């Protein structure tokens, strides 16, 4: 999985360079990365995501999600733990997207 995640990240970085879009990548935990476009204040995560399949078994897949920074800061200020944010506020703070959508989210056409 590490190689696949690395390939995804390298592809996003290459696209960003070609479009003159500055993306900062920070590794979090073993198989997770936060990608940030500070200019437009957008953050996306790429890494291993635990998702239930059709038989309700949890599977590890490479996935991506957006982070609503203002709602994250609000929840943090209100005292929500990281686990509570994931369990109770997913859909408000964290939204799953396809890994192929990360670049467009961080470097939208109107930004370039």
Q: What Å distances lie between residue 105 and 6, 33, 44, 64, 77, CA to CA?
A: 19, 15, 8, 11, 26
In this prediction the pTM is 0.82
DSSP string, 34-98: EEEETTTTEEEEEEEEEEE-TTS-EEEEEEEEEE-HHHHHHHHHTT--HHHHHHHHTTTSEEEE-
The per-residue pLDDT for range 51-101, each reduced to its tens digit, is: 888 999 999 889 999 999 999 999 999 999 988 988 898 889 999 999 999
Average pLDDT, the chain: 90
Domain ranges of the chain: 2-106
Chain center to CA of 38? 14
């Amino acid at each position: 999985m590490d190689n696949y995640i690395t390939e995804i990240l390298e592809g996003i970085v290459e696209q960003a360079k070609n479009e003159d879009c500055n993306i900062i990548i920070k590794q979090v935990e073993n198989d997770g990365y936060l990608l940030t476009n500070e200019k437009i204040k957008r953050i996306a995560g790429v890494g291993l995501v635990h998702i239930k399949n059709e038989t309700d078994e949890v599977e590890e897949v490479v996935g991506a999600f957006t982070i609503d920074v203002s709602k994250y800061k609000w929840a943090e200020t209100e005292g929500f733990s990281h686990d509570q944010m994931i369990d109770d506020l997913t859909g408000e703070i964290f939204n799953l997207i396809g890994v192929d959508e990360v670049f467009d989210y961080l470097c939208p056409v109107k930004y370039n």
